[in-house]
A and B are shown apart, each in its own frame.
Chain A
């Protein structure tokens, strides 16, 4: 219902354009003087930026700078926090996420989310992935099985779990659990995937697998990833925004931001002088 036309105009979202290709882009998410407030304190201040469709955008910054808050504003997960409010506009496909006509359930179906700690439900692998589709009215056995297989394949987990779909998801390793969570998010066929420090609870090998996966998903989904790890941002993202004390200090092509930062603060942060 919302902004379908803009959707379709995104040219060939599945093509895996090279990371170097940073020409003019389709805007998928646009923040216009967007602020998030907890009570009266501003966690995100007047952020204005454009998140490109089908590409990976990293948001970096020191702890407590508001990057998770900004991320969670996109699928309105902040609604759950008492006293949280927003100002300005946050547009997804041209429609204000905080507008009066938005259906939060539909919004969250279109904007998937992966959390810091792997959080599979204490159910079977199959039921975890099928949770979302069931929620949105898919109950046929065959249809569900198709979705589960496709989602797990996209999350690069199918081969590892295809024989243990009925096992409890909590028996998987941490890295597998996180990929399962990604598969679960993909199962409802979102356009946008939000990742809130998805590898911070994982060991280096599992981290590498998730990063590979993010590169594979690039092009098919618009990905926003919040990370502490600047190397990670450099490795996986096309665009990077540097957030400091709630303000978006700099937003640029990742390569440029890390090699030729325009702001002093950005340079200090990426060279490790603070944060």
Chain B
């Protein structure tokens, strides 16, 4: 081949490499960027006075005097709204039954919306459900509710050839000519005074229990559950995996049975995780009865089975890569095979083994399917260590799925969902960074 052609090919090849890496980075940014932005809204947002009231009443945070003065300010701003409603209700009393019926439904809807925005009306009994005890705690949600107050959603079907189009009709039209008419412009202009949004950094999102099924509060039970499950899986999978790898690499030799075993392990690594989930239910819970129903223990065992092949393969590779000269040196000094493996081979293979372990820990933390049937529930309290033997737990991956698909007020808690996604990504990312750092450190130590 000509020198020129060869050089051109070389360049083309390295160019291709750079392009593919750039593509990868772009994809990562495109995928992770929005998640970071949206997830951060669980931590950083504009909290309203309702948020501060919630924090004070439910978590005992904040100062009572400042909260009370702020509440008083907000109440002053809200008073005209309640006055106007009271006046309108007075007005209704003077009307005929038919007229009253005309307004009743519209007024009830308006009052519901205002309750959602500002919390229960003053002087009423405190509602039982926590989400009804408070108005909008977040300014971004409050703006949506204000919009709902001001506009009625309806569909325009005038063009029969097309699907209906969504139109927002001003709600004020329904009440045109009544004493409540000015309420709408008042809400529009005085929303800030009524709710007093302020920049809030809610880092305790990570460490708070949630209230009323994630309507308020944080994700600590989910985080803790994820940690329990991942650590539990490690407790079972690491000793088993490393010992298996040691056996395969150092003792098993190259027989047909052994190569068949290796094929099995590789195949196991490729089995869909939902299969492991069902296996965990059928085997650990229904057959072995490690717990009477879902539990962290059963989930950990299932995850351990899932990541075992990965750990075995990574560890075996690492052990095989240890130069034979180390083994020879130890054996020539009179070390037994086991002793050689434990004191020389395994330490030298440690960077690779640990990398495999930490990466599969990330996998265990992020898997959803294996824990659906074996460990996960949608709402729960943080467990004590001994409770993990018998009790199920919420966990990040499962609750992300659950909030997205099954939660009644799914739209109102999108920020919680994204917060969970972000947290999970950060946990896995953190584990991977730990793996890289650990590997670098140990390799440096081994290389001197």
Determine if A184 and B348 form an interchain contact, defined as CB atoms under 8 angstroms apart: no
Determine if A119 and B447 form an interchain contact, defined as CB atoms under 8 angstroms apart: no
Number of inter-chain CB pairs below 8 Å: 75
Query: In terms of DSSP, what is the predominant structure of the interface of chain B?
Result: helix
1/0 contact string of B332-351 vs chain A (CB within 8 Å): 11111001000110011000
Band of interface residues on A: 20 to 34
Q: In the docked arrangement, what's the CA distance between A230 and B355, Å?
A: 48
1/0 contact string of A183-208 vs chain B (CB within 8 Å): 01100100000000000000000000
Determine if A184 and B344 form an interchain contact, defined as CB atoms under 8 angstroms apart: no
B448 interfacial contact with A, CB 8 Å: yes
B77 interfacial contact with A, CB 8 Å: no
Q: A115-B329, A131-B343 are in contact. Are A136 and B448 (CB under 8 A)?
A: no
Q: A82-B253, A170-B448 are in contact. Are A119 and B328 (CB under 8 A)?
A: yes
**Chain B interface, number of residues (Cβ within 8 angstroms):** 23
Contacts of B348 in A (CB 8 A): 121-122
Determine if B334 and A109 form an interchain contact, defined as CB atoms under 8 angstroms apart: yes
Determine if B333 and A108 form an interchain contact, defined as CB atoms under 8 angstroms apart: yes
B446 interfacial contact with A, CB 8 Å: yes
Contacts of B446 in A (CB 8 A): 122, 168, 170
Picked from B327, B329, B332, B447, the residue with its CB within 8 Å of the CB of A75 is B332
Identity of the chain B residue whose Cβ is nearest the Cβ of A109 in the assembled complex: B334
Contacts of B343 in A (CB 8 A): 131
1/0 contact string of A109-130 vs chain B (CB within 8 Å): 1001101010111110000000
B409 interfacial contact with A, CB 8 Å: no
Determine how close the nearest CB of chain B comes to the CB of A255; give it in whole angstroms: 31
Can you list 22 pairs linking A and B with CB atoms under 8 Å apart?
A: A77-B328, A77-B331, A77-B332, A82-B253, A108-B334, A109-B333, A109-B334, A113-B332, A115-B332, A117-B325, A119-B325, A121-B329, A131-B333, A135-B333, A167-B448, A168-B445, A168-B447, A168-B448, A169-B448, A170-B448, A185-B333, A188-B334
With A108-B334, A131-B343 already in contact, 11 other A-B pairs whose C-beta atoms are closer than 8 Å: A75-B332, A77-B328, A119-B326, A122-B348, A135-B334, A136-B334, A168-B445, A168-B446, A170-B447, A170-B448, A188-B334
The residues of B with any CB-CB pair to A shorter than 8 Å are: 253, 323, 325-336, 339, 343-344, 347-348, 445-448
The residues of A with any CB-CB pair to B shorter than 8 Å are: 75, 77, 80, 82, 105-109, 112-113, 115, 117, 119-123, 131-132, 135-136, 167-171, 181, 184-185, 188
